[in-house]
Amino acid sequence: MSWMPITDSFESVAGVASAPLLALSALEWQVVGLAIREAGRGGGIVVSTRWRRLVSILTGRETVRPLADPRLETLRSFVCAARNGHRLAERLATKLIDLGFSRDQVSAVRMLAAR
């Protein structure tokens, strides 16, 4: 058996690159979990400040506030929209790809959100 160095790339022994990595970062997974919980409570879509204030005054219930990172906020909104069957999910999927997520990652998150 010959010694083979461990590399950061996911290449097979023949030197052919394997399928794209579907992994999300730990923070991205936390956002997905948060979004699934929010969608389960019937929320998740961020509303404007005026509407948020009005809902808070009328119901005493605090609405969802956007995350500071636009990439993570788009991921959260996508999961909530996909989980609730909202038409906005398609536009958000395109935006996620524009923000650097792969099509495979978006597809995997969509399947998880639909469960």
pLDDT tens for each residue of 74-85: 999 999 889 888
Non-local (6+) Cβ contacts of 14 within 8 A are: none
Q: What is the pLDDT of residues 41-53, one digit of tens each?
A: 655 555 556 766 7
Rounded to two decimals, the pTM is 0.67
Within 10 A of 102 (CB to CB), how many other CB atoms are there? 13
Domain ranges of the chain: 26-114
Determine the number of helices (DSSP H) and then strands (DSSP E) in the chain: 5, 0
Type of residue found at 35: A
- Contacts with 36 (C-beta within 8 Å, 6 or more apart), sequence order: 79, 83, 112, 113
